[in-house]
Amino acid sequence: MARPKGSTGFKTADRILDESLALIARLGYAAVSMRMIADAVGVNASAIYNHFPTKQAILHRLMADHMTGLLDAWRDENSAGMAPAAALAHFARFHIRYNIARPDQVFISYMELRALEPDNFEAIETLRREYEQIPRSIIDAGQASGQFEIDDAHVATMAVLASLTGVNTWFKTTGRLSAKDIENTYAAFILRAVGCKLEEL
């Protein structure tokens, strides 16, 4: 029988994921061993294998949890009925807000993608493509309506995502600008990048 949520087994699995996340973000996937994870959690190494058969399984779970969390969070956003410009600005703010609160998850999702085995890589890529379709559909709608002036919707989508995700590489909560300032600045920047006049908002 499965343990009820909140039981010792679930708590241990969560601790394993939390400690693995911190270790991999700090040291890199290749440098982290299952014994190191066990020591950080405070259990015997054999206990790790009761929850995750391999270190690869932990990495895949960390990445999958991040992407499914991101997709679920977007589904909770109230963006239905927005014109393309408003929807893209809303997406930009959402992406920044969600990801700057999760620097380790974002770092691992991009820097350790190459460490995934083929089947796990394809599973994560499927989730990434699903997320990429969100701004792509907005950009397609903006291009079709004439609100956006772009040459290639795919290139524009990749540029938008790269720009937004890049915030995690330099943003500091102790910096000159607040997170809300960054959201607003990037929302305006992204709209200009797709050829949208801000007065169209």
User: Per residue in 96-109, pLDDT tens?
Assistant: 999 999 999 999 99
List the one residue out of 57, 67, 64 whose CA is nearest residue 29. Answer: 57
| Cβ-proximal residues to 6 (8 Å cutoff; 6+ apart), any chain | none
Same domain, 107 and 190: yes
Q: Which helix (H) or strand (E) holds 12?
A: helix 8-27
Residue with the two structure tokens 């949208």: 196
Q: What is the pLDDT of residues 54-102, one digit of tens each?
A: 999 999 999 999 999 999 999 999 788 899 999 999 999 999 999 999 9
Mean pLDDT for the chain?
A: 91
Confidence of residue 4 (pLDDT cuts 50, 70, 90): very low
- Structural domains in the chain (count): 2
* pTM for this entry: 0.88
Same domain, 63 and 129: yes
Residue with the two structure tokens 């393309």: 84
Same domain, 87 and 141: yes
Whether the per-residue pLDDT at 3 is higher than 70: the answer is no
Q: What is the pLDDT of residue 2?
A: 38
Nearest-angstrom CA–CA distance, 185 and 170: 15
**Tokens found for residue 149:** 């002036």
Structural domain span for residue 188: 54-194
Give the number of other CB atoms < 10 A from CB of residue 111: 13
133 inside domain: yes
**Tokens found for residue 79:** 């963006």
> Length of the chain, please?
201
Same domain, 44 and 131: no
Q: What is the pLDDT of residue 5?
A: 42
Same domain, 79 and 40: no
Same domain, 33 and 99: no
